[in-house]
Amino acid sequence: MNKFAKIAMYSLAVVIMMAAPAFAQGGAAVTEDGAAVAEAADSGLVAGLAAGLGAVGAGLVCIGSAGGIGKLAASAFESMARQPEKAGQIQTAMIIAAALIEGFTFFALFICMS
């Protein structure tokens, strides 16, 4: 494993470990009459961390999907250049695979931003 892959793997592990405390629900203070009062300082910090981690996750999703679709297109074009008679079948398979990658990307973006 090269140096860049190790750094990326360790960085991802740190981001994943930070996600659990960022999404933890803060406790609410209770007044004498039983009404719950939210703690503004803690909830603001947690919301800020969650938004930051969501943005990092969304960036990683976009980078990964762009790399995947780029590799898919490069391989498909190379295959079409080698076997022009199969270009139609290769192009159809490429479009289906790209649609599946984009569908997963939208799902992952939705999860990161919610």
H or E stretch including 114? none
What is the pLDDT confidence band of residue 56, given thresholds at 50, 70 and 90?
confident
Question: Per the structure block, which two tokens stand in for 13?
Answer: 């592990």
Average pLDDT for the chain? 78
Write down the pTM of the prediction: 0.57
Beta pairing partners, 80: none
The alpha carbon torsion through 26, 30, 31, 34 (nearest 10 deg) reads 140
Report how far apart, in Å, the C-alpha atoms of 51 and of each of 16, 105, 113 are.
14, 18, 8
* All domains in the chain, ordered by first residue: 3-113 (1.20.20.10)
Bridge partner list, 112: none
Residue bearing tokens 């780029």? 70
> Mean pLDDT across the stretch 49-58?
77
Cα–Cα distance for residue pair 111/105, rounded to 1 Å: 10
Q: What distance in Å separates the CA atoms of residue 75 and residue 88, rounded to the nearest whole number?
A: 14
Q: State the pLDDT at residue 96.
A: 95
67 has a pLDDT exceeding 70: yes
